[in-house]
Amino acid sequence: MNTKNVYADNNATTMVAPEVKETMEPFFTNLYGNPSSMHVFGGQVKKFVDRAREQIAALIHADPAEIVFTSCGTESDNAAIRGILAAHPEKKHIITSRVEHPAVKNVFQFLEKNGYRLTELSVDRLGRIDLDELREKLDNDTALVSIMWANNETGVVFPMQEIAELVKSKGAVFHTDAVQAAGKVSIDMNTTPVDLLSLSGHKLHAPKGIGILYIRKGTHFVPFIMGGHQEGGRRAGTENVPYIVGLGKACELALDHLEENKSHIKVLRDKLEKELLQKAVDASVNGDPENRLPNTTNISFKYIEGESILMLLSEAGIAASSGSACTSGSLEPSHVLRAMGVPFTRVHGSVRFSLSRYNTDEEVSYIIENMLAIEKTLREISPFGRDELHAEQ
Amino acid sequence: MWDYSKKVKDHFLHPRNAGQIENPDAVGEAGSLACGDQMKLMLKIDENEVITDAKFQTFGCGSAVASASALTEMIMGKKLDEAAHITNKDIVDYLGGLPVEKMHCSVMGHEALESALHNFRGTSPEPAEEAKKHIVCECFGVTDDEILRIVQENSLTTIEDVTHYTKAGGGCMSCHDKIKGLIEQVVGEEKAQQPPRPAGAKLTNIQKMKLIEETFEKEIRPMLKADGGDIELIDIDGNKVIVSLRGMCSSCTSSTFTLKKYIEPKLKEFVSEDLFIEEVKP
């Protein structure tokens, strides 16, 4: 193994920030009280939970009382969808997009098998949804619309303001999975009429195992996990105090670093993308270049295969992801890229690099150098040579 | 990340015989771009029908490259007749195993070899043979004879296995019934070849009890449990199997029906024709 380690898979998960780890530590030792307890052990811990709630609310400009702690983004999505439908049993139509994360997609498909009418909005070649199609599909029977804030694979950011306003104007409830967007682009619940929003800790330098569901005041909601009265009766279970405190700190840091997304991360991403596109034999970007997360680039190398690319990147100490069928465990390549109509020849050779504030310019140069060498190696053993490349262009 | 064996990693990172042969005596291809893998095999064959050189080109994942690399090493220096006997299983063994989801990579290697041999003999592929084939899986273009062969060679028993090995059934899933039929066909043929259990074969009491318990565990309980019921084996007296129904089953009005129409036939099928069932109330 080599000494270099470059982590460029931050849409999968992120490093826990050292400040976050430090903030959490006392809660594994001295501060072990149950925040619901009526004694000093509980009371002293409750303050920190309240503080974390404020820090998280600040990141998305919400009221702390609207923040509900969960175990992860997937739980937040499940709780939002099921909690809203349980509160509106008379409505039987639900809308989502074709490019959602499985935490939403699979729940909606399950609901379709259980009596709901499901509309999955299509996307265009750049991965954008069509607001007119959404307008057309909304009707009096629509209980819930769930559309992600930003796509995990391509980084495409959806027009949340327009979508939320449109859904609200038709009287349906709007949920967004903002797991990839939080901490990368600004989110403002004061101005964007989203009803429910999911956020996950481990995508913004908090540990795995903690998430939140934002539930706007006045939203009718039936709790997904029932039991005690925690979280204002919206999510039972003793609070995961160390992780809650950690998430609070991570959100505070994310807010502090929000501008850095433009000044640092986007600069690195643009360099990575630009140089790979220029110097590779055949590479193309997947996703809307205009509305995209600043840290994500999804690049297809035609006629070479994603898992092979990842294995060779890994040999060089570089971590990234691919939409290739071979990396998924199923035989299906990325449903996101297929929904965008990216041809198979490019889907199988797609690689996602996702950066964080911990990446450096030197690391990006290292990725570029290695990626170009890997492209050359794999093209040499691919049966599709330059002839095919030129013939199709 | 897949858990690849050392040998798979080695053959991927340092592929043997990657590249092309000028004026090859035989060329074989397998796979398809839409599926995410494609392999081309080129051979040099001397006048004694010995493979003197083999090279490959592969578009595909780590195990696809490794399978192709392994194949070229395995066939080099072999006579064509010998090489023709190499199966996908041999490739897997050579590589020290493949993750089950990646078995189709070894199958692709085998198919490329077959295609090259046909190409060399100029017989490729016999029209009569071709006419017998029917596409079963439209998504990945897999034929019935291919599935039958892989099921036989690798003793596969489930649709999932077949998908892992051939990709068939991994797309729209509409061919699952057909695949099931093909598996049953192979299992049926194999059963026919085995000497049938002589009618009324004398099972020892212990054998009988074991078989009955096994049948309860594998065949009967899971079905009852799905409906919130359960069954307890109380005793076996000769051919009389005494049971007691539990849970939802004990109060269910159709329980006698379940006993006679479902549980007894299962025991007859898997243990002995002579068995009959009797219920005692708990």
Answer whether residue A252 is part of any domain. Answer: yes
pLDDT in tens, chain B (282 residues): 678 999 999 999 999 999 999 999 999 999 877 667 889 999 999 999 999 999 999 999 899 999 999 999 999 999 999 999 999 999 999 999 998 888 888 889 999 999 999 999 887 565 555 556 788 887 777 888 889 888 988 888 888 888 888 888 877 788 888 898 899 888 887 776 665 554 445 677 777 888 888 888 888 888 777 777 788 877 788 888 888 887 766 666 567 777 877 788 888 888 888 888 888 775
Question: Considering only CB atoms, which chain B residues are within 8 Å of A325?
Answer: 35-36
Interface of B with A (CB under 8 A): 1-2, 9, 12-13, 15, 18-19, 29, 33-40, 56-62, 64-65, 101-102, 140, 163, 167, 170-171
Answer whether residue A342 is part of any domain. Answer: yes
Tell me whether residues B59 and A304 touch, CB distance under 8 A.
yes
Same domain flag for A235 and A294 = no
Please give the residue of chain B at the shortest CA–CA distance from A349.
B36
Q: Which residues pair with A150 in a beta bridge?
A: A157
Same domain flag for A95 and A234 = yes
Cα B84 to Cα B81: distance, rounded to the nearest angstrom: 5
Q: What would you report as the CA-atom Rg of chain B, rounded to the nearest whole angstrom?
A: 25
Same domain flag for A232 and A307 = no
Q: Which of A325, A330, A382 sits opposite B57 (nearest CB)?
A: A382
Tell me whether residues B36 and A325 touch, CB distance under 8 A.
yes
Please give the residue of chain A at the shortest CA–CA distance from B4.
A311
Question: Considering only CB atoms, which chain B residues are within 8 Å of A348?
Answer: 33, 36
Tally the domains of chain A: 2
Answer whether residue A375 is part of any domain. Answer: yes
Q: Mapping DSSP to helix (H, G, I), strand (E, B) and coil, where does residue A161 land?
A: helix
Q: Which residues pair with A200 in a beta bridge?
A: A211
Answer whether residue A1 is part of any domain. Answer: no
Query: In chain B, what are the domains?
Result: 6-121 (3.90.1010.10), 127-193 (1.10.10.1100), 205-279 (3.30.300.130)
Q: Which of A305, A315, A329 sits opposite B36 (nearest CB)?
A: A305
Q: Which of A327, A330, A383 sits opposite B38 (nearest CB)?
A: A383
Q: Which of A311, A315, A381 sits opposite B58 (nearest CB)?
A: A381
Please give the residue of chain B at the shortest CA–CA distance from A384.
B59
Same domain flag for A227 and A290 = no
Please give the residue of chain A at the shortest CA–CA distance from B16.
A381
Same domain flag for A113 and A251 = yes
Please give the residue of chain B at the shortest CA–CA distance from A312.
B13
Same domain flag for A120 and A185 = yes
CA of A373: how far to CAs of A18, A319, B65, in Å? 34, 16, 18
Among B33, B55, B98, B142, pick the best mutation site for testing chain A contact (most A Cβ within 10 A). B33
Cα A61 to Cα A54: distance, rounded to the nearest angstrom: 10
pLDDT in tens, chain A (393 residues): 456 899 999 999 999 999 999 999 999 999 999 999 988 888 899 999 999 999 999 999 999 999 999 999 999 999 999 999 999 999 999 999 999 999 999 999 999 999 999 999 999 999 999 999 999 999 999 999 999 999 999 999 999 999 999 999 999 999 999 999 999 999 999 999 999 999 999 999 999 999 999 999 999 999 999 999 999 999 999 999 999 999 999 999 999 999 998 899 999 999 999 999 999 999 999 999 999 999 999 999 998 999 999 999 999 999 999 988 776 666 678 999 989 999 888 899 999 999 999 999 999 999 999 999 999 999 999 988 656 665 554
Asked if B246 contacts B232 with a C-beta cutoff of 8 angstroms, the reply is yes
A333 to chain B, closest Cα gap in Å = 8
Answer whether residue A324 is part of any domain. Answer: yes
Cα A174 to Cα A197: distance, rounded to the nearest angstrom: 9
Same domain flag for A85 and A174 = yes
Burial label for B192, CB within 10 Å (0-12, 13-18, 19+), is exposed
CA of A206: how far to CAs of A5, A28, A241, A243, A246, in Å? 20, 16, 13, 8, 6
| Per-residue model confidence (pLDDT) at position A3 | 65
Tell me whether residues B58 and A382 touch, CB distance under 8 A.
yes
Please give the residue of chain B at the shortest CA–CA distance from A332.
B171
Q: Which of B39, B58, B167 sits opposite A331 (nearest CB)?
A: B167
Question: Which CATH number do you get for residue A82?
Answer: 3.40.640.10
Answer whether residue A22 is part of any domain. Answer: no
| Per-residue model confidence (pLDDT) at position B229 | 77
Among A314, A381, A386, A389, pick the best mutation site for testing chain B contact (most B Cβ within 10 A). A381
Kindly state the tokens that stand for A51. 């503080």
Give the domain-ending residue among A197, A228, A256.
A256
Sheet holding A350-354, edge to edge: A283-285, A296-301, A350-354, A321-322
Tell me whether residues B33 and A384 touch, CB distance under 8 A.
yes
Tell me whether residues A384 and B167 touch, CB distance under 8 A.
no
Would you say how long chain A is, in residues? 393
Selecting among A326, A372, A378, A389, the annotated active-site residue is A326
Tell me whether residues B36 and A383 touch, CB distance under 8 A.
no
| Per-residue model confidence (pLDDT) at position B242 | 84
Same domain flag for A270 and A387 = yes
Would you say how long chain B is, in residues? 282
Range of the domain at A125: 31-256
Kindly state the tokens that stand for B148. 């039958």
Same domain flag for A240 and A227 = yes
Same domain flag for A223 and A351 = no
Same domain flag for A150 and A266 = no
Interface of A with B (CB under 8 A): 303-308, 310-312, 314-315, 324-327, 329-333, 344-345, 348, 380-384
Task: Give the number of other Cβ atoms within 10 Å of residue B173's Cβ.
Answer: 13
Give the domain-ending residue among A214, A240, A256.
A256
Same domain flag for A338 and A314 = yes
Single out the residue of B55, B60, B6 nearest to residue B33, CA to CA.
B60
Instruction: Cite the active site residues of B.
Output: 35, 105
Please give the residue of chain A at the shortest CA–CA distance from B18.
A381
Amino acid at A31: L
Answer whether residue A240 is part of any domain. Answer: yes
Task: Give the number of other Cβ atoms within 10 Å of residue A160's Cβ.
Answer: 24
Answer whether residue A24 is part of any domain. Answer: no
Question: Considering only CB atoms, which chain B residues are within 8 Å of A306?
Answer: 61
Question: Which CATH number do you get for residue A276?
Answer: 3.90.1150.10
Give the domain-ending residue among A234, A256, A278.
A256
B62 to chain A, closest Cα gap in Å = 5
Burial label for A316, CB within 10 Å (0-12, 13-18, 19+), is middle
Query: How would you label A260-276 residue by residue, b for 16+ Cβ within 10 Å and e otherwise?
Result: ebeebbbbbbeebbebb
Tell me whether residues B62 and A308 touch, CB distance under 8 A.
yes
Question: Considering only CB atoms, which chain A residues are within 8 Å of B60?
Answer: 305, 308, 326
Question: Considering only CB atoms, which chain B residues are within 8 Å of A330?
Answer: 170
Q: Mapping DSSP to helix (H, G, I), strand (E, B) and coil, where does residue A211 land?
A: strand
Q: Where are the beta strands (DSSP E) in B99-143?
A: 135-137, 142-143
What number is the ipTM of this complex? 0.84
B27 to chain A, closest Cα gap in Å = 12
